[in-house]
Amino acid sequence: MQAYLGVDVGSVSTNLVVIDDDGNVLVDLYLRTQGQPIQAVQEGMKQVEEAIKGKKIEICGVGTTGSARTLSGVIVGADTVKNEITAHAVAASHLVPDVQTVLEIGGQDSKIIILRDGIVVDFAMNTVCAAGTGSFLDHQAARLNIPIEDFGGLALQSEASVRIAGRCSVFAESDMIHKQQMGHPTPDIIAGLCDALVRNYLNNVGKGKEILAPVVFQGGVAANVGIRAAFEKALGLKIIVPDYFKVMGAIGAALLAKATVKEKGETNFRGFVVSDLEYQASSFECQGCPNLCEIVNISVDDKVLARWGGRCGKWDTLSKTG
Amino acid sequence: MRVGIPRTLSFFTLYPLLKPFFDGLGVEVVVSPASNKALLDEGVKDTVNDACVPIKLFHGHVVALKDKVDVLFMPRIISLDGKNTLCPKFLGLPDMVKYSVSNLPEIIETRLDMKKGKMEIYRFLYRVGKRFTDNKVKILRAIWHARYKFSRYRKLLLKGLTPEEAFTCLHTGQEPPHKEQSGQIKLAVLGYPYTIYDDYISVGLLDMLREQGVRVYTAEMVPEEAMKRMSKKLPKNLFWYYSNRVVWGSQYYINEQNIDGIIHVTAFSCGPDSMTNKLVELEAKQHQPKIPFLTITVDEHTGEAGVATRVEAFVDLIKRKKGII
């Protein structure tokens, strides 16, 4: 069977999916990146290989996305390297064909994508601030000593959520501590935090956007039922969370790879051997000018595969991806 | 005698006037190097905390020049078109720099206020010239020469040359290479000349777009008569020269040039842009059909990745809409 692989390496998670020719998901994997994107991709590849062993599945194309898309693209030999927005939009409109709004909250970024008739017409991403993303929730859950998995459920137990300032994660944290010291029960504080996060998202990322149903909510944070409920309350709309909400970026990358391969007729996929290769990443500071760019080399067996990070073309002599 | 001109802010507007003028006076012109990390770091250290990146960068350029020149040229530019003023930071620039950077050489902070009449530009140059020579004929001849080069510069920009390319043409006297942009989509990239033409601050935005098959149009390519026409569209214009040109430019490209999308480039914490940005966005949204609009915010952090992701997604959006991919 012909299949396509999608790899989405983000700040927090590394996701891999395998889809068949009709876009059905055969394998989906959600791993923690833990600051080691290369190892995460290799580990993911190993697990994908295990999962499809003996099933007569042939990988005919591979696509990468996420903040480490260039790096992972080099490692796996990607046919297409795409930004997260396009990948998420493609996946959402594949699974929910008439989708008009995509809310995506990941580890360190959040975005809103507005589609009309299956085409992206507008989008926005959070700017410099990471308040209201998964990392912040992770951090607060750890501080309250609550497993992140239970976080959303606790919020639903609240009867009267407290008001928490969601503008800035540092201030939100002091606000939460204050509310704790006042004696508010934890579920109310967590519900307040969910409301604040949603409020911040809608005012910042969703500012001025026309949010129409069907609304699809995806990204790691969509697992949080508290945030889901807060969105439904704030928007007054039903929120659809697709089955594969965690790996939508990877699904999008796989779909894009399928389209690319169909057009060019061959794949650059390096095969599952990549999980056993020794990839070395090294970096140095270029002293050529006062910009002091940090140049990164990715090599296998002392052979440089890719290099990036420079502002000028000096180090770009190798093939350019991304 | 060496005069230093920082390579930012009004540089992209006035340098082709100043360079031949100082040449005519026999004064050597020293321009600071292209913006880079070291310059910005230096600027951030010296500037008041709440200034925008371009102002911080300007301080960096001043520091880079101060020990290499006898005089620093830093005019107080009030108005360039006789109607609007510039951003307050331009008005107070010489003061801001004097109190933030120490061990400065002599500063020429001559006032340029075109509200005083069309001849003011010549009177301004004359006042500057007096600092270097008493020979009136020499000053007048330098002004005449500068005027010619300056009008040629504006024509080169209209032809679609970037300021740097135009400087080269003016310097060598060569005819500009015939430049027909290729690409499947047309985007207007609007912002202040000192953000969009400074590759360091804009993280190479213009090249990034061209590599993705985009034909790029800027406010500097809008003919003056069109700007004038656009200035009558809004019931009230903004107060600031560069901001108005961004708004008018957007109106021109949206309503008369069939543009595929608009990118507004703004520096983080720019005051005038809080209004400029909204006006451009509304203009793009009110048009039928709606014109895709993207804001790119540049800041001290050199996050090329953030800009690249947004730009790539925006170009994808337009290409998919047009059925190119």
Average pLDDT, chain B: 92
Out of B141, B172, B203, pick the residue that ends a domain.
B172
According to the model, what pLDDT value does residue B302 have?
Answer: 57
Examine residue B180 and state whether it is found in any structural domain, yes or no: no
Q: Are residues A12 and A105 in the same domain?
A: no
**Residue range A251-270: average pLDDT?**
93
According to the model, what pLDDT value does residue A48 have?
Answer: 94
Q: Are residues B219 and B251 in the same domain?
A: yes
Examine residue B111 and state whether it is found in any structural domain, yes or no: yes
To the nearest whole percent, how much of chain A has pLDDT over 90? 49
pLDDT at A322 over 50: no
Q: Which of A64, A69, A85, A111 to mutate to test the interface with B (most CBs of B within 10 A)?
A: A85
CA distance A53 to A35: 28
Tokens 């975005």 belong to: A111
- Give B219's pLDDT tier (boundaries 50, 70, 90): very high
Domain count, chain A: 3
Q: Are residues B17 and B153 in the same domain?
A: yes
- Set of chain B residues whose Cβ sits within 8 Å of the Cβ of A104: none
Examine residue B178 and state whether it is found in any structural domain, yes or no: no
pLDDT at A321 over 60: no
**Residue range B308-323: average pLDDT?**
90
To the nearest whole percent, how much of chain B has pLDDT over 70? 99
- Helical residues (DSSP H) of chain A, grouped into ranges: 37-52, 69-76, 84-95, 134-143, 148-156, 169-182, 186-204, 225-235, 248-264
According to the model, what pLDDT value does residue A319 have?
Answer: 46
According to the model, what pLDDT value does residue B252 have?
Answer: 96
To the nearest whole percent, how much of chain A has pLDDT over 70? 96
The SS3 call for residue A295 is strand
Cβ of B38 and A123 within 8 Å? no
Q: Are residues B56 and B127 in the same domain?
A: yes
Nearest partner of B261 among B293, B283, B285, judged by Cα: B293
DSSP of A72-133: HHHHHT-SEE--HHHHHHHHHHHHSTT--EEEEE-SS-EEEEEEETTEEEEEEE--S--TTS
pLDDT at A280 over 60: yes
The SS3 call for residue A161 is coil
Please count the other Cβ atoms lying within 10 Å of the Cβ belonging to residue A122. 20
- Give A131's pLDDT tier (boundaries 50, 70, 90): low
**Chain A: nearest CA to B59, how far in angstroms?**
16
For residue range B225-269, what is the model confidence (pLDDT) as tens digits? Answer: 999 999 998 888 999 999 999 999 999 999 999 999 999 999 988
According to the model, what pLDDT value does residue A208 have?
Answer: 83
Cβ of B313 and A123 within 8 Å? yes
Chains A, B: CB pairs < 8 Å = 64
According to the model, what pLDDT value does residue B90 have?
Answer: 93
According to the model, what pLDDT value does residue A316 have?
Answer: 67
| ipTM confidence score | 0.82
Q: How many residues does chain A have?
A: 322
Cα three-residue angle B103-B109-B113, rounded to 5 degrees: 160
For residue range A8-31, what is the model confidence (pLDDT) as tens digits? Answer: 998 888 999 999 999 999 999 999
Which residues constitute the domain of residue B136? 2-172
CA atoms A89, A91, A94, A99: torsion sign? negative
Q: Are residues A285 and A267 in the same domain?
A: no
> Which 161-190 residues of chain A touch chain B by CB within 8 A?
none
- Give A130's pLDDT tier (boundaries 50, 70, 90): low
CA B78 to chain centre: 15
Amino acid sitting at position B283: E
The answer to whether residues A14 and A40 touch, using CB atoms and an 8 Å cutoff, is yes
Out of A241, A265, A286, pick the residue that ends a domain.
A241
**Residue range A112-137: average pLDDT?**
82
Q: Which of A67, A82, A83, A263 to mutate to test the interface with B (most CBs of B within 10 A)?
A: A83
CA distance A190 to A156: 9
- Give A165's pLDDT tier (boundaries 50, 70, 90): confident
Which residues constitute the domain of residue A127? 97-241
The answer to whether residues B55 and B6 touch, using CB atoms and an 8 Å cutoff, is no
> Which 15-74 residues of chain A touch chain B by CB within 8 A?
67
CATH code of the domain containing B291:
3.40.50.11900
For residue range B93-128, what is the model confidence (pLDDT) as tens digits? Answer: 999 999 999 999 999 999 999 999 999 999 999 999
For residue range A174-204, what is the model confidence (pLDDT) as tens digits? Answer: 888 899 899 999 999 999 989 988 988 898 8
Half-sphere exposure of A176 (CA within 13 A, CB side): 27
For residue range A50-108, what is the model confidence (pLDDT) as tens digits? Answer: 999 888 899 999 999 998 898 899 999 999 999 999 999 999 999 999 999 999 998 87
According to the model, what pLDDT value does residue A318 have?
Answer: 56
Tokens 């060598």 belong to: B172
Q: How far is CA A208 from CA A100, A202, B82, B321, in A?
A: 15, 9, 35, 21
